[in-house]
């Protein structure tokens, strides 16, 4: 099992709809969870971080964390064409005695006008 798993997509969503991105992780002790957005040819940029169970909202973005199920998701409401990008889930994992940030392979999201 990979330490952090995402569906690679592509995920296609009509403009104005809700886009739902999912991520599972292997380490029950993980405490920090991040969602990064990466436009084609650019570097990752942080859009959300979450540390506690439940929902965290920031504008059109909502991160949801369920530590019991080892599951973190990102919802994008009122999707816009500018949301088309690859979304990377990142989780801190204890590896060989040190905390490391491990990235999923990313989900490619396309918003169709």
**Which of 82, 70, 62 lies closest to 21, judged by CA?**
62
Shortest reach from residue 113's CB to other proteins, in Å: 26
Q: Is 85 exposed, middle or buried (0-12, 13-18, 19+ CB in 10 A)?
A: buried
With respect to other proteins, which residue has the nearer C-beta, 16 or 39? 39
φ, ψ (nearest 5 deg) of residue 82: -70, -10
Shortest reach from residue 95's CB to other proteins, in Å: 8
Chain residues in the site for other proteins (CB under 8 A): 4, 8, 31-32, 34, 42-46, 49, 88, 90, 92-93, 98-106
Shortest reach from residue 88's CB to other proteins, in Å: 7
């Amino acid at each position: 099992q990979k330490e952090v798993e995402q569906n690679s997509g592509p995920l296609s969503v009509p403009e104005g709809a809700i886009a739902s991105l999912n991520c599972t992780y292997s380490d029950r002790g993980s405490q920090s969870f991040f969602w990064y957005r990466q436009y084609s040819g650019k570097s990752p940029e942080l859009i959300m971080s979450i540390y506690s169970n439940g929902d965290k909202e920031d504008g059109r973005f909502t991160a949801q964390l369920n530590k019991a199920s080892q599951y973190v998701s990102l919802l994008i409401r009122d999707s816009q064409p500018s949301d088309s990008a690859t979304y990377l889930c990142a989780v801190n994992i204890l590896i060989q005695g040190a905390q490391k940030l491990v990235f999923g392979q990313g989900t490619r999201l396309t918003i169709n006008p």
